[in-house]
Amino acid sequence: MVIKTEALVFLVLMFAYSSVPLMVKGAVYNVGEFTGWTTIGHYDYAKWASNQTFQVGDTIRFVYNPTHHNVMEVSSSDYESCNAQAPVVTYITGNDSIPITKEGHHYFICGVPGHCLVGQKVDIQVSSSSTKGGAMTPTASPNSTSPSNTTSSASKFSSKDLSILVPTLVVSAFGFAY
């Protein structure tokens, strides 16, 4: 009884932890944080982006002065060359929230001449949700719910051979209880 309850609690906890990143959707990322979207100060957008974990369902928000800047989603090659002549989408409001709907790279530049060349560009790389979930729960993926997998690392009942271990522990548990 004791063993079964603890094992069950452990399984539930493992499942809950591994599920948390999948349930937390819809984060909003302000590009450049408090600096916003600008050339002033030569903000390192590449560094900023590399410190985030973007997922499908999140929102990328560009805040800027629309008289001086804009936002263009462009192709990979146009991103590299800072070509603003063939944008996929252009945003001009000064407060643009762009939902992430698919994985992979999303390339944004400022289309005002010269701005991309001095660094006003950002590559939003969107990872799959499964890779993000691995960070907190290295031993369990949402798929590995069988007892032999999920109880193998952290539990004190961590033998690979439960058929031997469980009877042993039941005996010792009753020994402590009575």
Q: Which residues bind Cu ion (CB under 5 A)?
A: 69, 110, 112, 115, 120
Which C-beta is closer to Cu ion: that of 2 or that of 46? 46
Burial of 165 (0-12, 13-18, 19+ CB in 10 A): middle
Which C-beta is closer to Cu ion: that of 10 or that of 48? 48
Look at the alpha carbons of 131, 133, 138, 139 in this order and tell me if their dihedral is positive or negative.
Answer: negative
Which C-beta is closer to Cu ion: that of 29 or that of 64? 64
Which C-beta is closer to Cu ion: that of 94 or that of 147? 94
**Minimum Å distance from CB 111 to Cu ion?**
8
**Minimum Å distance from CB 34 to Cu ion?**
17
**Minimum Å distance from CB 119 to Cu ion?**
10
**Minimum Å distance from CB 100 to Cu ion?**
22
